[in-house]
Structure 1
Amino acid sequence: MDIAVKDAAQRLGVSESRIRQLLIAGDLNGRRIGRAWLVDADDIARLQGQQRRPGRPVGPKRAWAIIDILSGGSAPWLSYSERSQVRSYAARLDEPSADDWRAILRGRSELRPVQAHPAALARLDRFDHVLLAGSAEAVRRGFDLVAAGEPRPEIYMPIKEWGHIARGLALRPSHDANLIIHHPMLVWPFEGRDAVPDATIAADLLHSAEPRAVRAGQLRLNELLKDLHRGMGR
């Protein structure tokens, strides 16, 4: 059964624009009729089930700190005591499920769906602070995932860079997006890196509508967590 965007937003307790973002990103199943969206009610029930899972989000800075520490970083945007708390928190995690990871790490980024000319897509990597992401990057890195068709490109970009990059490449927000931009909230967690770490790619896969992608994200995060635990002597 399909429901309207307004009804979907009420059921999940989010804005209508957030529902449209999820639809455009492919993280929520639905279909378009003209300019309007209809949302798969069963998929809304799936997300409601995720919301009822135990676990609390840790906030954007600490969510990015967990991802950075899993990637061998030190989360320099946190104080020493905050980093110690995050490491202790990670040490207590025990093979989290996909739902657990989503609950812990949610709210770390803002998604911006845009329309870009194919020539602009080819020029994205010429800009500083633009880093490739998404399922295509996961496949390229050897995640346990097979791409279905041509994945829509995704990138990370600081929100403060949006204006001049959008002007330089003629990017425009669109419901018919062929590019998804992730803006990390409150912090740029990739300073000094020339690519987003595997943990970031894995965390993003957890929000896919494709179960195989969700499973691949969970497996990679838990592999990195085990590596962290071994390094801690656990």
Structure 2
Amino acid sequence: MQANSSLTVGEAATQLGISPQRVHALIRAGGLKATRVGRQLFIDPVSLHRRAVADPMRYRPFSPTNAWALIDLASGDGTLQVVGERRLSPWSLSRMRGQLKRGGLLALSPYLRGRARVHELRADPDDVERIADEPGLVRTGVSAAREHGLDIVAPNTLEAYVPLVRYPELVERYVLESSHRPNVILHVVDGIWPFSPDAIVAPGPLAALDLYDSGDARGRRAGEEYLRRLEPT
């Protein structure tokens, strides 16, 4: 495990919503995997993700409105940043900017999962491209990797955002079924659609965030590498 692909004790504490002392206790108990480099401990991001999934109630996720506003502010897209600003009160906007400045999207990722509900589905392989061509879908994660230089390739797989009102229609039309071997991953958004009408690919930070939140080790690594480049210095 390389230190530059791992998290410090402080970063792990922020992601888990606990104190650094509690992180050290979890390491001693075997609840988190860590490697010592010199005098510093580095936490394996996969073990941290497993811990977060095993204990999701520890988090107080942001509301969908606040989650999307923060993602817009971090997008690097001037138009989306204005949209994010308009979603928030002046006080909330100041608070969100402060959180981004202190930690960046990587540290805040556990609190942003309320932005959409993720469905891992299996489609007939011949239908994957047809689903990708459906109007209104916005590609993200592995399906936006090429546009944003994310270091992952997943051929014959679609990952995209879709409005809740479209989801049942797609499931019925293409006979989509839940699967542990998905080739269609849909992030279903309930409420205000966060993308512009002509959007077909999610912004880089969001695509990387979706990879980082995935259970796939390669995807998490690719997302983490991208998000680390955006971290405040």
TM-score category by the smaller chain?
0.5 to 0.7
1:215 paired with 2:218, answer: no
Report the equivalent of 2:61. Answer: 57
Aligned length: 180
CA contact (8 A) 2:143 2:160 kept: no
Residue correspondence of structure 1 range 185-204 to structure 2 within 5 A: 185-195=190-200, 196-204=202-210
What is the match of residue 40 of structure 2? none
Deviation at 1:117, TM superposition (A): 1.3
The match for 1:68 is: 72
* CA offset digits 1:72-121 (Å, max 9, x no partner): 31575x89582534431232133526652213312221111111112211
Residue pairs, 1:73-222, within 5 angstroms: 73-74=80-81, 76=83, 80=86, 82-92=88-98, 93-94=100-101, 96=103, 100-143=107-150, 145-147=151-153, 150=155, 152-195=157-200, 196-208=202-214, 209-210=217-218, 211-219=220-228, 221-222=230-231
Deviations 1:21-55 (A, max 9, x none): xxxxxxxxxxxxxxxxxxxxx95665326869x98
Describe the shift of the 1:79–1:112 C-alpha distance in structure 2 as closer, same or farther (beyond 3 A): same
Stretches of structure 1 lacking an aligned partner (at least 5 in a row): 1-11, 13-41, 227-234
Tell me: CA distance 1:94–1:187, structure 2 relative to 1, closer, same or farther (3 Å): same
Q: 1:120 to 1:75 in 2, by over 3 A?
A: farther
Shift of 1:183: 0.7
How far apart are the structure 1 equivalents of 2:208 and 2:48? 23
Distance 1:189 1:201 in 2: 14
Alpha-carbon offset, residue 131 of structure 1? 1.6
Alpha carbons 2:62, 2:114 under 8 Å: kept: no
Contact 1:157 1:182 in 2 (8 A): yes
> Post-superposition shift, 1:155?
1.3
Distance of aligned partners of 1:84 and 1:128 in 2 relative to their CA distance in 1, 3 Å threshold: farther
Which range moves more in the overlay, 213-222 or 117-126? 213-222
Deviation of the 1:190 alpha carbon: 1.0
Matched residue of 1:194: which SS? coil
Equivalent position SS for 1:94: helix
Unaligned stretches of 5+ residues in structure 2? 1-15, 17-44
Instruction: Pick which of 174-183 and 109-118 moved more.
Output: 174-183
Matched, 1:48 2:51: yes
CA contact (8 A) 2:212 2:224 kept: yes
For residues 74 and 127 of structure 1, the distance between their equivalents in structure 2, rounded to whole angstroms, comes to: 27
The share of aligned pairs that are identical, in percent, is 25
Which amino acid in 2 is paired with 1:65? A
Distance 1:161 1:121 in 2: 16
**Please, what is the CA RMSD of the aligned residues?**
3.6
Structure that is richer in helix per residue = 2
Residue aligned with 1:107, SS:
helix
- When the two structures are superposed, what TM-score results if normalisation uses the length of structure 1? 0.61
Contact between 1:155 and 1:182, CA under 8 Å: does it hold in 2? yes
